[in-house]
A and B are shown apart, each in its own frame.
Chain A
């Protein structure tokens, strides 16, 4: 058998491989040799081979056959073999492997070894990968080591205990007494471990938390010692004495002071001292200040101290270091709800951070800006957000648009501003908006009755400029279809007058219909809009008729169906065209009739009948001979295939006035698949010589009905 190469030689060979295939070949050969060697009796090369295997594992190749070798090596009496064995255990034997339990006994023996370096190996391994069972077995040993050993072992035992408590929280009680006494140690490593352990114990057990509140004065003393101490070469980092320990103590004080007046009072002075004395020109000092600020904001501190903390964050915001700006915004985000006004004062700087080049900083600034929107600053802040949107990174666009929409909805100072804002967003980032934006915008436009003229002009201009953004095109088509007459009239109070000819409008719609960029849904909108215009224009009805008949043979089934229906509307039901296609909102009707008409469908009752039919009743108004009932399915582009609708003849043509009678029309809905349905019911009628219509939406049918 060929002698296997030394570790470093093997690494060299692997690195020298020119292709992935060559590397795989080398590794396969080596692994075969290693496996063979593992099977042999001990020949002094085991640790070597395991080390090679660990390198191969790090490159991403399978190494599970080394697990048992780790177990054997850990049990070896030789230190170097133990060392590699334990390293292998930490890399290959996580707690999910069955073989990990086999090392429990070895660890137990090694924990009592006479050499502290062997003890340390065992402690380190247990602290990194010990399973819950192993922890339960060995916890008493760890407790013993916490009490009676040298500093080197004590600090390792402390972190091992931390791991044990994380795995098996009930064992926390075992370690509580020992950890208390560890606070009087002078060695920083032990002290640090003790603080981490106490933090872990307090986080998991409220009773332990109560107990350790008594330790607050002691912790304050230790902290003061660190802050006021002179230069210590061993622990100094950029002028701060042991920032690692300082940060952990601050974190523990935060947990102890939370929701507790006494503990919070005891640390107020200390926090003020740290906040003012810590030099934050380097990262170490900033880290300590950062933790101090988090502690101040989380406990019941004095208001003066809170102000100081927010000011520190404000100073951080102006720091050149991006990391400092980032954590400043993260902290401000945490307190923006509770200390809203304090954070508002820094709005200007936060908004400036929107322009930073860095993606992380931008994200934080966006979150914070959205949280700072209020009725007072909506106009100016929205300008900044829209500016941000035009240059923001693609991964943030969807979040930005939805944030802008939410803010606009809550704080819009006027409807016109609201519509303008949404249109701006659609023009800039219409591809990244949510699906419900289109119906929401349509709803908004419908209710803003005074702005119909303005809106349709604006949307028309947007449409002829660019038809690539589907959401914008859909809304524009709908609007033109609905308010085309206003567009053609030419005058508008809010914008400059511009002459739009009927042909221009139809050209625009036809372009949308024919463009490759238009999605099927968009085409549907455009076709419907074209059809609707037939009742709003005077000269080009034939052109519309021809467009519609062309699409009657369109490949797209949905479009074809629509076109065929519209064709039918032209041919057979021409007398119904006007009522069917007139304005959705209550249109040009005289004021006296307006109020009465609103009642028309107000009392829409939907009751299940025996044969699964619904009786729709309307309390009395005079209906002329042009009464028609339309029922359409909502939020489906076409009715679900399984559902069938059958309309019976109404019981009468005329509803007597003043509630003296009613007309009933039965509609049968067959819904064998029990699909949940929403329906829109539209009633068209004439009343006192006016052609009118009303719409009502049924969002749910009584469930036992199906």
Chain B
């Protein structure tokens, strides 16, 4: 399984962090050492290195470094493909994603795309299109419920009726 996925800027600032294992704040700070190792690597280096007892796979895309920590049995080459897939998903969703997009939309988009792609350190969905579909539907739901209270025809309970179906007729209260 993947233990963590970190997105770093060239200066080492965290743009996104996902930990798939319980880690204290102090331990998180220890990974700073690893990020310095990664940032110091020359271009065209091997994308794999060892840090403590973890395999680290990293890839640089424009101004962002994507780093993840793997277990011993994990396939490093496949992880490169995982990172590539995540970048493609971000790109498709944002349209030519750049670092700023991720910064300003971390909470709505970057994390949600990630959560539709990886769960518990493992790949959730291998289809390119399925993740996009799920994102769009969830976004629609978000917009629909954002400002208004909505109640559908059949459900008596407000807390359920917001979501009972996207195809139902909505009416305002």
Stretch at the interface among B62-70, B89-97, B135-143: B135-143
B98 at interface, CB cutoff 8 A: no
* Cα-based distance from A323 to B80 in the complex (angstroms): 10
Q: Which of B14, B22, B42, B115 has the most CB of A within 10 A?
A: B115
* Cα-based distance from A359 to B123 in the complex (angstroms): 30
B86 at interface, CB cutoff 8 A: no
* Cα-based distance from A284 to B49 in the complex (angstroms): 20
Contact B81 A287 (CB under 8 A): yes
A95 at interface, CB cutoff 8 A: yes
Contact B123 A192 (CB under 8 A): yes
Whole-angstrom distance from the CB of A146 to the nearest CB of chain B? Answer: 14
Residues of chain B from 113 to 140 with CB closer than 8 A to chain A in the complex: 115, 119-120, 122-130, 134, 137-138
> Helix, strand, loop or mixed for chain B's interface?
mixed
Which A residues are in CB contact (< 8 Å) with B173? none
Contact pick for B73, options A55, A251, A284, A327, CB 8 Å: A251
Whole-angstrom distance from the CB of B146 to the nearest CB of chain A? Answer: 5
* Cα-based distance from A188 to B162 in the complex (angstroms): 30
Number of chain B interface residues as a range: 35 or more
Stretch at the interface among A77-85, A373-381, A491-499: A77-85
* Cα-based distance from A54 to B18 in the complex (angstroms): 12
Contact B45 A358 (CB under 8 A): yes
* Cα-based distance from A117 to B76 in the complex (angstroms): 32
A317-360 interface code vs B (CB 8 A; 1 in, 0 out):
00000111111000000000000000000000000000001111
Cβ-closest chain A residue relative to B164: A114
Contact B163 A87 (CB under 8 A): no
Whole-angstrom distance from the CB of B26 to the nearest CB of chain A? Answer: 11
* Cα-based distance from A78 to B1 in the complex (angstroms): 33
Contact B81 A283 (CB under 8 A): yes
Contact A160 B107 (CB under 8 A): no
* Cα-based distance from A390 to B46 in the complex (angstroms): 22
Whole-angstrom distance from the CB of B66 to the nearest CB of chain A? Answer: 15
Contact A7 B107 (CB under 8 A): yes
A527 at interface, CB cutoff 8 A: no
Known: A124-B115, A189-B130. A159 touches B120 (CB 8 A): yes
Whole-angstrom distance from the CB of B63 to the nearest CB of chain A? Answer: 14
A438 at interface, CB cutoff 8 A: no
Contact B106 A58 (CB under 8 A): yes
Contact pick for B107, options A87, A114, A152, A322, CB 8 Å: A87
Whole-angstrom distance from the CB of B141 to the nearest CB of chain A? Answer: 5
* Cα-based distance from A245 to B115 in the complex (angstroms): 18
* Cα-based distance from A162 to B142 in the complex (angstroms): 29
* Cα-based distance from A359 to B51 in the complex (angstroms): 13
Contact B119 A124 (CB under 8 A): yes
Which B residues are in CB contact (< 8 Å) with A251? 73, 75
Whole-angstrom distance from the CB of B60 to the nearest CB of chain A? Answer: 13
Contact B146 A234 (CB under 8 A): no
Q: List 30 A-B contacts (CB under 8 A).
A: A8-B104, A51-B107, A54-B106, A55-B107, A58-B15, A58-B106, A59-B13, A60-B14, A78-B162, A80-B146, A94-B22, A94-B23, A114-B160, A129-B22, A156-B124, A159-B124, A160-B119, A163-B120, A166-B1, A188-B126, A243-B81, A244-B123, A286-B77, A287-B77, A287-B80, A291-B75, A323-B46, A323-B48, A323-B76, A361-B46
18 further contact pairs, Cβ within 8 A, besides A244-B81, A247-B78, A359-B49: A77-B158, A80-B145, A120-B134, A123-B119, A124-B115, A124-B119, A128-B120, A166-B1, A196-B122, A234-B127, A234-B129, A234-B130, A244-B123, A283-B81, A287-B77, A323-B47, A326-B46, A326-B48
A interface with B by C-beta (< 8 Å): 7-8, 11, 15, 51, 54-55, 58-60, 77-80, 83-84, 87, 90-91, 94-96, 113-115, 117-118, 120, 123-124, 127-129, 152, 155-156, 159-160, 162-163, 166, 188-189, 192-193, 196, 233-235, 237, 242-245, 247, 251, 283-284, 286-287, 290-291, 322-327, 357-361, 363
